[in-house]
């Protein structure tokens, strides 16, 4: 498949088949992703591939933290403290599409809560990936990691797998690091669901809009 087709076809998948992903296939994807560029070739990414009982332990701990009403304690701030247009508009439109695909009424808070909990289970995908940076790395390394993650998602797409990058999996870093044995000062940046897409699931049918090039680009001569 051509790279332009891979990029356009990639989408965030939120329903997966309970079909295991061969470890050799995951290795192949990582083998491709590792060629991502990084500042001064630091290659700062650290990846935890989590499946089986360990994935269940992590999911249970995250769901419990959420159900107990614990405030997220992510290692960094992902979203703006004050939202403004056009970003808040895009966020609302994204959430509306999600709930409409699942036929969840905007007033049905219980159903919304249950759907949010699915984030912490990596949408029940067979594989959960977690991405870390060493504590001393700075903002530039987030860019490097982002390019690595994009490589990984496109490689997965080419191999017939589906992904969903997830900030939610980094909202409660303490239990994740404890279970996996990562140092407390390591930065848990985000996670990802990985597996085979359930193409019949309604939640996988919608696509979020993208701005036209002239909306975010300025040419200078």
What ranges do the domains of the chain cover?
3-77+120-203
Q: Would you tell me the crossing angle of helices 173-180 and 52-67 to the nearest 10 degrees?
A: 160
Residue 130, pLDDT score: 99
**194, 129 Cβ separation under 8 angstroms:** yes
Residue 43, pLDDT score: 98
- Mean pLDDT on 50-64: 98
- Mean pLDDT on 17-46: 98
Specify which residues 187 forms β-bridges with: 133
pLDDT band, very low/low/confident/very high, at 106 (cuts 50, 70, 90) = confident
Chain centroid to CA 63: 16
Percent of the chain clearing pLDDT 90 (strictly above) = 99
Q: What is the pLDDT of residues 2-20, one digit of tens each?
A: 999 999 999 999 999 999 9
- Mean pLDDT on 98-119: 93
Mean pLDDT of the chain: 97
Question: In the CATH scheme, what architecture does the domain 3-77+120-203 have?
Answer: 3-Layer(aba) Sandwich (3.40)
Q: What is the pLDDT of residues 114-159, one digit of tens each?
A: 999 999 999 999 999 999 999 999 999 999 999 999 999 999 999 9
- Mean pLDDT on 176-199: 98
Can you tell me the distance from the alpha carbon of 116 to that of 126, in angstroms, rounded to the nearest whole number?
A: 18
Residue 54, pLDDT score: 98
Chain centroid to CA 9: 16
Give this prediction's pTM. Answer: 0.96
Residue 1, pLDDT score: 81
Six-digit token pair at 217?
A: 């680009």
């Amino acid at each position: 498949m051509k790279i332009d087709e891979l990029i356009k076809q990639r989408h965030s998948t939120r329903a997966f088949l309970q079909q295991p992903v061969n470890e050799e296939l995951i290795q192949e994807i990582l083998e491709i992703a590792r060629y991502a560029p990084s500042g001064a070739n630091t290659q700062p990414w650290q990846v935890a591939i989590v499946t089986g009982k360990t994935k269940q332990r992590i999911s249970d701990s995250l769901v419990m933290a959420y159900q107990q009403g614990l405030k997220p304690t992510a290692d960094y701030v992902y979203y703006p403290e004050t939202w403004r247009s056009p970003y808040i508009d895009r966020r609302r439109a994204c959430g509306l599409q999600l709930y409409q695909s699942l036929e969840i009424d905007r007033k049905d808070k219980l159903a919304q809560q249950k759907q949010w909990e699915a984030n912490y289970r990596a949408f029940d995908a067979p594989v959960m990936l977690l991405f870390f940076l060493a504590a001393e790395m700075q903002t530039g390394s987030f860019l490097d990691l982002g390019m690595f993650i994009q490589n990984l998602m496109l490689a997965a797409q080419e191999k017939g797998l589906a992904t969903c990058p997830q900030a939610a999996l980094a909202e409660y870093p303490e239990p994740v690091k404890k279970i996996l044995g990562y140092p407390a000062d390591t930065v848990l940046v985000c996670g990802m669901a990985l597996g085979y897409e359930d193409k019949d699931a309604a939640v996988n049918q919608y696509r979020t809009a993208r701005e036209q090039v002239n909306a975010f680009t300025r040419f200078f001569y």
